[in-house]
């Protein structure tokens, strides 16, 4: 692990996004069912899994530090038929950032959506997955207006 003992403790935030593209038939079936499959409520399950993944990022990514998380939020939106956008926001006050936690949360949510819908089609696509915002520490990344809606 990188030695962070000399870094300042600051407020840190990261926002990551993952996209899931569904074939038209899957999108229609999911919308008609209230976003449920035989496995259960797709979006609710993806949000729970994302929060679990955020909390366990240091166990999944070998050189990540365990962090005291102060906030995490997972939003799932369907801006148009066939597209699911997952946005994951994570905050802490610490010596290192939460980019990996946000990226892990968004990615796991996308994987859960795939898993819960794969019986309908294997033509589901995940990606891109990207960091939108990073605040705190030496350098910020991304536009200020996307950092937090609350």
> Per-residue pLDDT tens for 47-100?
999 999 999 999 999 999 999 999 999 999 999 999 999 999 999 999 999 999
Measure Cα distances from 79 to 38, 62, 82, 85, 137 in Å.
Answer: 24, 35, 9, 8, 33
Please state which CATH class domain 23-138 belongs to.
alpha beta
Domain-by-domain residue ranges, the chain? 23-138
Q: pLDDT tier at 1 (50, 70, 90 boundaries)?
A: confident
Whether 140 sits among the annotated catalytic residues: the reply is no
Q: Which residue is it, tokens 């802490």?
A: 92
Q: What is the pLDDT of residues 30-52, one digit of tens each?
A: 999 999 999 999 999 999 999 99
Looking at residue 6, its pLDDT comes to 87
For β-strands 40-41 and 36-37, DSSP reports them as antiparallel
Distance CA 74, CA 51 (A): 8
pTM reported for the whole predicted model: 0.91
Write down the catalytic residue from 44, 115, 123, 140.
115
């Amino acid at each position: 692990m990188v030695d962070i003992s000399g870094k300042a403790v600051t407020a840190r935030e990261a926002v990551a996004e993952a996209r899931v593209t569904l074939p038209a038939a899957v999108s229609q079936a999911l919308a008609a069912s209230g976003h449920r499959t035989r496995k259960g409520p797709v979006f609710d399950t993806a949000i729970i899994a994302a929060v679990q993944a955020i909390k366990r990022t240091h166990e999944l990514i070998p050189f990540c530090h365990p962090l005291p998380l102060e906030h995490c939020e997972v939003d799932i939106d369907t801006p148009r038929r066939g597209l699911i956008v997952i946005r994951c926001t994570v905050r802490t006050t610490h010596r290192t950032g939460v980019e990996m936690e946000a990226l892990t949360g968004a990615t796991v949510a996308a994987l859960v959506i795939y898993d819960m819908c794969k019986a309908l089609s294997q033509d589901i696509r995940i990606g891109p997955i990207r960091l939108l915002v990073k605040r705190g520490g030496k350098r910020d990344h991304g536009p200020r207006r996307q950092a937090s809606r609350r």
